[in-house]
Chains A and B, each alone.
Chain A
Amino acid sequence: MLQLVVGQLLNGVIVGTLYAIIALGVTLTFGITGIVNFALGAFMMLGAYFTWYFSDGLGIPYPLAVVLATLAIALVGLVADQVLFRFTRNNLINGLIVSIGLISVIVAIVLMVWTTTPQNMHYVLPGVFRVGGVIVPKMKAVVFGVLLLVILFTYAALTRTWAGRAAYAYAQNPEAAALMGVRTKVLQAGVAAYSAALAGLGGGLYASLYSITPEIGAGYILKGVEAAILAGIGSVMGSFAGGIIIGVAEGVGSIFLPSAYNDAYGLVFLVLILLFKPAGLFAVSSR
């Protein structure tokens, strides 16, 4: 039993990191552009498909395929921002409507090109690590490592670089930041592209672990938004913690409770935490 719990703890941390990378995109987008961009889930799915296509379709080595897919999704996110979301700044309702519309379009295109049949990437890194009696697939460990590095990098960039500081300042007080000479429009476009890239990267790594279908984005954006709210908008390490909390709750919970409850853990935690800390666990601004 202990082995089972420890195993699920580890698995929950890894799966939770995938939620966290989406949550990070959600929280950055909300902090800087004032909307919840649900299309980040579709970007993640697109990142998974691009990575699979580059790797298995075009024969590009997997790491490079992931990088290319991430860049491609960053571009998609930038275009979507400039063409669509530019007109929904700080307007949650319009942002919601536009992102739902965008999701439909992206899913329809993927369905047309690749159909609803699940696709499976070749095995990039088969094999498992055995720690005590607990088994951790090697690729899952790699995915965790990469995502952790990216999250830490984002945190460092936000606190130690001028661009990051500008973003962080803008999230705290947009007008004051403008008065410091921060170029609002450039910042917003940049954050939109970066958030999309995070989602695309998440998708590219997802593809190495599971089969991909056009629906995979929906569950992830939901968990990502839950994790972001749970952590409190604006906190990078908070998004990470939020994702992990949900991942571990699901993993350990599914040992003891029927599988039907799986999606509920995130919501239960969300409600519990918001009851006691309405701004989230680590909130930055009161937006």
Chain B
Amino acid sequence: MKSRVSIVKAVAASLGVAALAVATGAYSQNVVKIGEIEAQTGALNTYGWMSSQGMRIAVDEINKAGGFEVAGKKYTLQLINPDTQGNPQQALIQLKTMIEEDKVKYVFGPFLTNVFKGIEGYARQHNGQFLLMGGATQIHYELGKPGNDYLVRTWNWDAGPSGFGTLMVDYLKKKGVKKVAMLMQNDAFGHVAADVYRDAFKKAGIEFQENWFEPGTKDYSAVLAKISAGSPDYLFPGYTDAVLYDIVQQATQLGLTKFWLVRGSLGPALKNKDYIDDYVAYIPKYFEEAEKSEPKVKKFVEAYKAFYKTKDFPYDQAPLCSSSCYDHVYMLVEAMKKAGTVDDVAKVKNALESFTYDGLWKIRYDQTGEEVINFDIVDVQKGGKITVTHEQPR
């Protein structure tokens, strides 16, 4: 003989428990946390900034659309993306917090090799507990090694059968080029680049001459004069915009007017358009053109402007969204759906490597876990005329 009072008490008690459950975040079971460790500010933020910008938009869109469904359950995304400022020690602390306190299983980044080296040891200790998907050069060398199952590289590589560099060299060969002079930073990455392209040019039968400069150089007249004396067909200048402006200006003054490069924007070409003859650049995507011809790109540009409430779109930075950025969030969600789990990282990784995602880019991962994407070769000629060739690696 339950009285009315005791029924009311029971209902009140249940509501209380339910409220408590909500308050203590028991519903966090339906949130998938993803982390990002990139340099968003500071001297080294060229790569991390765009990744971070794009990722936020993707997470926002997915959640606004009501989340996603995996094995019958609905989930939303929570993005945890502290700023490493390019500091390895800081990044390590941030990663530890993500893994141990927030229990994050999917971390994007880093693009910076020095940061990767700082977190590598810790990451290996937690092999099997999470996925680290970053664009750093050093990651390329660690893929596939025992104990590195956690590792995925979210950028393409210059060399190898699907390497963009190889296709770039072929482009030059088609122009009948016989001799290329490289002028590269005398640092760790410069030597990586030299190693890759020495082989590539040799295979293509193009004479390859190596010249080095110290980071921080502003006046290149000595080495450019030396190079010019050897009459190369093309100059292959350094790997950052910071040096390209000076090199291109000074090179054109000394009669070197043809350039071929695999890192850097079109800025130096456009500034010197009246003095160059040819400027061939690897650009993951030439957004100015893609915006008009590809609906997904147009949509992304509009989404960016709306999300950040701005009329400006960073065209020169946008190509870097080819790494750990907008597409990669969506691709991860697809992988989770395919794998039928949000927790089993091994299954998700297998799923990730099993299909091609068609977003802003067509992305797939090769058997070592390294990204392969379609890209553009942008050719700027004297006067600023631009020709874009779309490449799709096999």
A7 CA to B213 CA in the complex, in Å? 18
A117 CA to B243 CA in the complex, in Å? 11
The stretch that binds A, out of B105-113, B222-230, B289-297, is B222-230
Distance from B255 Cβ to chain A, minimum over Cβ atoms (Å)? 7
Instruction: Give residues 226-270 of A contacting B (CB, 8 Å).
Output: 251, 254-255, 258-260, 262
Whether the Cβ atoms of B226 and A118 lie closer than 8 Å is no
Q: Does B199 contact A (CB under 8 A)?
A: no
Whether the Cβ atoms of A118 and B225 lie closer than 8 Å is no
A255 CA to B43 CA in the complex, in Å? 31
A117 CA to B226 CA in the complex, in Å? 29
Task: List chain B residues, Cβ under 8 A from A135.
Answer: 225, 253-255
A260 CA to B274 CA in the complex, in Å? 33
Q: Does A213 contact B (CB under 8 A)?
A: yes
Whether the Cβ atoms of A118 and B245 lie closer than 8 Å is yes
Q: Does B6 contact A (CB under 8 A)?
A: no
Whether the Cβ atoms of A211 and B221 lie closer than 8 Å is no
Q: Does A4 contact B (CB under 8 A)?
A: yes
Task: List chain B residues, Cβ under 8 A from A260.
Answer: 186, 214
Distance from B271 Cβ to chain A, minimum over Cβ atoms (Å)? 7
Whether the Cβ atoms of A259 and B43 lie closer than 8 Å is no
Q: Please tell me which one of the listed residues B212, B214, B242 contacts residue A213 in the complex, with CB atoms under 8 A apart.
A: B242
Task: List chain B residues, Cβ under 8 A from A123.
Answer: 249
Whether the Cβ atoms of B242 and A128 lie closer than 8 Å is no
A262 CA to B212 CA in the complex, in Å? 12
Q: Does B358 contact A (CB under 8 A)?
A: no
A17 CA to B245 CA in the complex, in Å? 23
A216 CA to B218 CA in the complex, in Å? 9
Instruction: Give residues 131-188 of B contacting A (CB, 8 Å).
Output: 186
Q: Does A205 contact B (CB under 8 A)?
A: no
Q: Please tell me which one of the listed residues B43, B229, B274 contacts residue A116 in the complex, with CB atoms under 8 A apart.
A: B43
Q: Please tell me which one of the listed residues B226, B242, B253 contacts residue A4 in the complex, with CB atoms under 8 A apart.
A: B226
Q: Does A11 contact B (CB under 8 A)?
A: yes
A42 CA to B218 CA in the complex, in Å? 17
Q: Please tell me which one of the listed residues A4, A8, A116, A259 contacts residue B213 in the complex, with CB atoms under 8 A apart.
A: A259
Knowing A120-B271, A126-B275, A211-B245 are in contact, say whether A219-B219 is a contact too (CB < 8 A): no
Whether the Cβ atoms of A254 and B218 lie closer than 8 Å is no
Task: List chain A residues, Cβ under 8 A from B241.
Answer: 118
Q: Does A145 contact B (CB under 8 A)?
A: no
Task: List chain B residues, Cβ under 8 A from A210.
Answer: 218-219, 246
Q: Does A15 contact B (CB under 8 A)?
A: yes
Distance from B243 Cβ to chain A, minimum over Cβ atoms (Å)? 9
Whether the Cβ atoms of B242 and A259 lie closer than 8 Å is no
Q: Please tell me which one of the listed residues B186, B225, B253, B271 contacts residue A259 in the complex, with CB atoms under 8 A apart.
A: B186
A192 CA to B221 CA in the complex, in Å? 34
Whether the Cβ atoms of A137 and B253 lie closer than 8 Å is yes
Which A-chain residue is minimally distant from B43 (CB atoms)?
A: A116
Which B-chain residue is minimally distant from A212 (CB atoms)?
A: B218
A260 CA to B212 CA in the complex, in Å? 9
Instruction: Give residues 2-18 of A contacting B (CB, 8 Å).
Output: 3-4, 7-8, 11, 15
A116 CA to B245 CA in the complex, in Å? 15
A4 CA to B246 CA in the complex, in Å? 20
Task: List chain A residues, Cβ under 8 A from B43.
Answer: 116
Instruction: Give residues 108-145 of A contacting B (CB, 8 Å).
Output: 116-118, 120, 123, 126, 128, 135, 137
Whether the Cβ atoms of B218 and A259 lie closer than 8 Å is no
Whether the Cβ atoms of B246 and A259 lie closer than 8 Å is no
Distance from B94 Cβ to chain A, minimum over Cβ atoms (Å)? 22
Task: List chain A residues, Cβ under 8 A from B214.
Answer: 259-260, 262
Knowing A135-B255, A260-B214, A262-B214 are in contact, say whether A118-B242 is a contact too (CB < 8 A): yes
Knowing A137-B253, A258-B212, A259-B217 are in contact, say whether A211-B242 is a contact too (CB < 8 A): yes
Task: List chain B residues, Cβ under 8 A from A259.
Answer: 186, 212-214, 217, 223
Which A-chain residue is minimally distant from B45 (CB atoms)?
A: A116
Whether the Cβ atoms of B216 and A219 lie closer than 8 Å is yes
Whether the Cβ atoms of B223 and A7 lie closer than 8 Å is no
Task: List chain A residues, Cβ under 8 A from B42.
Answer: 116
Task: List chain A residues, Cβ under 8 A from B219.
Answer: 11, 15, 210
A210 CA to B217 CA in the complex, in Å? 10
Whether the Cβ atoms of B245 and A251 lie closer than 8 Å is no
A254 CA to B225 CA in the complex, in Å? 11
A255 CA to B226 CA in the complex, in Å? 8
Task: List chain A residues, Cβ under 8 A from B217.
Answer: 259, 262
Knowing A126-B275, A210-B246 are in contact, say whether A255-B222 is a contact too (CB < 8 A): yes
Task: List chain A residues, Cβ under 8 A from B249.
Answer: 123
Which A-chain residue is minimally distant from B46 (CB atoms)?
A: A117
Whether the Cβ atoms of A8 and B212 lie closer than 8 Å is no
A120 CA to B218 CA in the complex, in Å? 12
Q: Please tell me which one of the listed residues B213, B222, B250, B274 contacts residue A251 in the complex, with CB atoms under 8 A apart.
A: B222
A251 CA to B212 CA in the complex, in Å? 15
Interface string of B262-278 (1 = CB under 8 A from A): 00000000010011000
Of B42, B222, B226, B249, the most chain A CB neighbours within 10 A belong to B222
Task: List chain A residues, Cβ under 8 A from B253.
Answer: 128, 135, 137
A27 CA to B199 CA in the complex, in Å? 52
Knowing A135-B254, A259-B212, A259-B214 are in contact, say whether A8-B245 is a contact too (CB < 8 A): no
Instruction: Give residues 27-69 of B contacting A (CB, 8 Å).
Output: 42-43
A271 CA to B309 CA in the complex, in Å? 59
A89 CA to B245 CA in the complex, in Å? 42
Task: List chain A residues, Cβ under 8 A from B221.
Answer: 7-8, 11, 251
Whether the Cβ atoms of A7 and B225 lie closer than 8 Å is yes
Whether the Cβ atoms of A211 and B218 lie closer than 8 Å is yes
Whether the Cβ atoms of A4 and B245 lie closer than 8 Å is no
Of A3, A11, A259, the most chain B CB neighbours within 10 A belong to A259
Distance from A22 Cβ to chain B, minimum over Cβ atoms (Å)? 15
A-B contact pairs, 8 of them (CB 8 A): A3-B229, A118-B242, A126-B274, A126-B275, A128-B253, A210-B219, A259-B214, A260-B186
User: Can you name 11 extra interface pairs (CB under 8 A) apart from A258-B212, A259-B212?
Assistant: A11-B219, A117-B242, A118-B241, A135-B253, A135-B255, A137-B253, A211-B218, A259-B223, A260-B186, A260-B214, A262-B214
